[in-house]
Amino acid sequence: MAGNGSYYITTPIYYVNDSPHIGHAYTTLACDVLARFKRLDGFDVKFLTGTDEHGQKVATSARDAGIDPQTFTDNVSQNFRDLLGVMNFQHDDFIRTTEPRHINACQALWRAIAANQSPKGQDNIYLDSYGGWYAVRDEAFYAEGELTDGPDGKKIAPSGAEAEWVEEPSYFFRLSDWQDALLEFYEKNPDFIAPVSRHNEVKSFVEGGLHDLSISRTSFDWGVQVPDDPDHVMYVWLDALTNYITALGYPDQKGEYAAYWPADLHMVGKDIVRFHAVYWPAFLLAAGLEPPKRVYAHGWWTNEGQKISKSLGNVIDPVELVERYGIDQVRYFLLREVPFGNDGDFSHQAMVNRMNGELANDFGNLAQRVLSMINKNCEAKVPQPGDLTGDDQDLLNQAHALHGSAAGCLDRQAFHEALESIWVVVRAANGYVDAQAPWALRKEDPDRMKTVLYVLVETIRHLAILAQPFMPNSCAAMLDQLEIGESERNFANLGLEQALKPGTELPKPQGVFPRFTDEEKAGEGA
């Protein structure tokens, strides 16, 4: 699609040590909504996701499962691919770090970094040996001062992961020389890290001084080989971060790389900010490449108030959620319930309240009432409006202003605000139905009834078009009932010019948002 330029958005690539859960689905959902919104808004979008398959953590999981790492990663990576269909995600590429295109890109990036000198005129990469702490669960190195003492004299990282002492020959990246360049980059690009609390956190971490970073391992071999040194595999985070440019054809810097880099947005969870906002821009600057435009770190989900973890047995499976509540209901809930950027809690009650209250009652009933009245009282055709009153115009003006406000919210990744702005109009439309009482006008003033129903159906058209990125199937069903063709569903069709044509025949309406009516849970709903 033409028009508004390019938009490149990425999810983290997920470790294949685990099955996909609600947290993974959440990050990818946020990206899918943005990708869909930008496509409908005329952008040329590339939406990348995939799996992170190397490193000690994955190698250990494969060994524990008694399977060779490649077969193990093939199996688990497929679970992540399957999740895309379950959640109705429209990604453009799925990258696996064991693919040849990626190994090639990693080695090229390593060479580019090594070929340049640091701002202080030293080699960016040097060989030494590492003696220090490493947490396999985080695949991260920690300084002694960051750790606390756990039971049995174990050392615990701030994430809660156990750290172990590691001593081995290692190549280092001269991160300490990049401190000033990074601070200058943050200063010049105040929107680079969001939300602002994360920006401050990263800035003070870098201001506190940076240690050189160990970027190779020798104690296992499940990774990308360091160029010209077969004893070393690359540190899994250097390997993993490179995926964002592998997918654009790097080291070739023409083609997709030229079209899409720097990325518009790397969406990540708050657990991996440091890697994306410190290490990644430093690697790129060292290689003479541009850092991404923005990194957004969202919050974490808990389950009924508890941290989600395999050992607590409370992992939320997105497949079960979708089977129970419906795809669009889950998509809506995850982005509506919690202000994006904050931590959130999943509960059955909260899910049912949103689903029954906002989807079935507010939006679903609005469409169903209006379309049924048109079906019964207007020969099932879009009615012919007469002169518009101030109230009619007010509602239409609100519908017309929605595109701008939703786009503004989404450019700040304020998904909850975008949905709230749509629901302000849903509620205004419901208030208008009650105030205008078209059922009473049927006998008293049928022409006025037609005007009111026209204003409502045109408002519903706007709501359904704008809510598509969040709830693609339900909105498609609603737009089908308005007889709006596939090519008339993008945002260029919003506003007066493409308004519904009076006389268009409409099919018999059907409810789009079912209520949650599980007998066992009867009485719990809104």
Per CB under 6 A, residues contacting ligand ME8 are: 12-15, 23-24, 26-27, 52, 240-241, 243, 268-269, 271-272, 300-301, 308
Q: How far is the CB of 13 from ligand ME8 (least distance, A)?
A: 5
Distance CA 424, CA 419 (A): 9
Q: How far is the CB of 339 from ligand ME8 (least distance, A)?
A: 14
Distance CA 221, CA 55 (A): 8
Q: How far is the CB of 298 from ligand ME8 (least distance, A)?
A: 7
Which residue's CB is nearer to ligand ME8, number 174 or number 298?
A: 298
Strands of the sheet containing 265-269, edge to edge, are 93-96, 44-52, 6-15, 265-269, 295-298, 193-194
Quick check: 136 and 57 in contact, CB under 8 A?
A: yes
Q: How far is the CB of 36 from ligand ME8 (least distance, A)?
A: 19
Which residue's CB is nearer to ligand ME8, number 307 or number 376?
A: 307
Q: How far is the CB of 244 from ligand ME8 (least distance, A)?
A: 7
Which residue's CB is nearer to ligand ME8, number 279 or number 454?
A: 279
Which residue's CB is nearer to ligand ME8, number 265 or number 426?
A: 265
What are the residue ranges of helices labelled H in 95-195? Answer: 100-115, 179-188
Q: How far is the CB of 243 from ligand ME8 (least distance, A)?
A: 6
Q: How far is the CB of 402 from ligand ME8 (least distance, A)?
A: 28
Residue type, 364: G
Which residue's CB is nearer to ligand ME8, number 20 or number 383?
A: 20
Which residue's CB is nearer to ligand ME8, number 102 or number 450?
A: 102
Distances (CA, A) of 235 to 64, 103, 204, 303, 463: 21, 13, 25, 33, 47
User: How far does CA 11 lie from the centroid of its chain?
Assistant: 6
Quick check: 94 and 50 in contact, CB under 8 A?
A: yes
DSSP output for 236-283: HHHHHHTHHHHTTTTT--SHHHHHHPSPSEEEEEGGGHHIIIIIHHHH
Distance CA 72, CA 488 (A): 45
Distance CA 406, CA 429 (A): 17
Which residue's CB is nearer to ligand ME8, number 97 or number 468?
A: 97
Residue facing ligand ME8 at closest CB distance: 23
Distances (CA, A) of 520 to 24, 517, 524: 29, 9, 9
Which residue's CB is nearer to ligand ME8, number 26 or number 432?
A: 26
Q: Which residues contact 433 (CB under 8 A, 6 or more apart)?
A: 366, 369, 370, 456
Q: How far is the CB of 111 from ligand ME8 (least distance, A)?
A: 20
User: How far does CA 465 lie from the centroid of its chain?
Assistant: 20
Residues belonging to the chain: 526
Distances (CA, A) of 116 to 190, 243, 253, 386: 27, 21, 18, 71
Helix, strand and coil percent figures for the chain, each rounded to 5: 50, 15, 30
Which residue's CB is nearer to ligand ME8, number 24 or number 155?
A: 24
Residue type, 93: D
Which residue's CB is nearer to ligand ME8, number 27 or number 329?
A: 27
Q: How far is the CB of 189 from ligand ME8 (least distance, A)?
A: 20
**Structure-block tokens of residue 330:** 């889950």
Distance CA 175, CA 282 (A): 7
Quick check: 69 and 62 in contact, CB under 8 A?
A: yes
Q: How far is the CB of 14 from ligand ME8 (least distance, A)?
A: 4
- For residue 119, whether the previous peptide bond is cis, meaning omega lies within 30 degrees of 0, is no
Which residue's CB is nearer to ligand ME8, number 39 or number 54?
A: 54
Q: How far is the CB of 15 from ligand ME8 (least distance, A)?
A: 4
Which residue's CB is nearer to ligand ME8, number 295 or number 506?
A: 295
Q: How far is the CB of 345 from ligand ME8 (least distance, A)?
A: 11
